[in-house]
Amino acid sequence: MAEKEFEHMKLENQLCFLLYASSREMTKRYKPLLDKLNVTYPQYLALLLLWEHEELNVKRMGELLHLDSGTLTPMLKRMEQRGIIIRRRSPEDERSVTIRLTDEGWAMQKTAADIPIAMLEQTGLSKEELKQVKQSLYEVLKTLHGVK
């Protein structure tokens, strides 16, 4: 067999593996930073959205986080039990649930403010390199999300 013929099948040449391994490493690096907030990585992502938008309905949050309701709803229930968020059903439509931060949820933003900077430092990327990597990953995500 010609080795060149199967070069594309080497693990090191798989984009999916690089994304998978990078994601695992990033999540592992986030853990000690998020332990200070006592939140998981998906909960941190939900907090980022709420700090930005102040209020979101569950459906929109799921779309933005690429999470289905079966994953998102239990996570939000745990956050509500901790007193970080408030979930409210819409009086007009019982199926629609809106999420808002409590004062405690807003207070966590100050503690979390250094996390993105710490993570950028851990990657070893410059701000310009980070911008390029994010742009490429957004393009991949947008393309894959559009493919059914």
The pLDDT tens digits of the residues spanning 118-131 come to: 999 999 999 999 99
Q: Which residues pair with 55 in a beta bridge?
A: 100
Burial class (CB in 10 A: 0-12, 13-18, 19+), 29: middle
CATH class label, 41-117: mainly alpha
Q: 130: how many CB neighbours lie within 10 A of its CB?
A: 13
Which segments in the chain show pLDDT lower than 50?
A: 1
| For the chain, domain boundaries | 41-117
Specify the pLDDT at position 1: 47
Specify the pLDDT at position 95: 83
Burial class (CB in 10 A: 0-12, 13-18, 19+), 56: buried
Tokens of 126: 């410059």
Specify the pLDDT at position 140: 93
The rounded distance, in Å, linking the Cα atoms of 148 and 139 is: 16
HSE at residue 9, side-chain half, CA atoms within 13 A, is: 5
The rounded distance, in Å, linking the Cα atoms of 139 and 132 is: 11
The pLDDT tens digits of the residues spanning 90-113 come to: 888 878 899 999 999 999 999 999
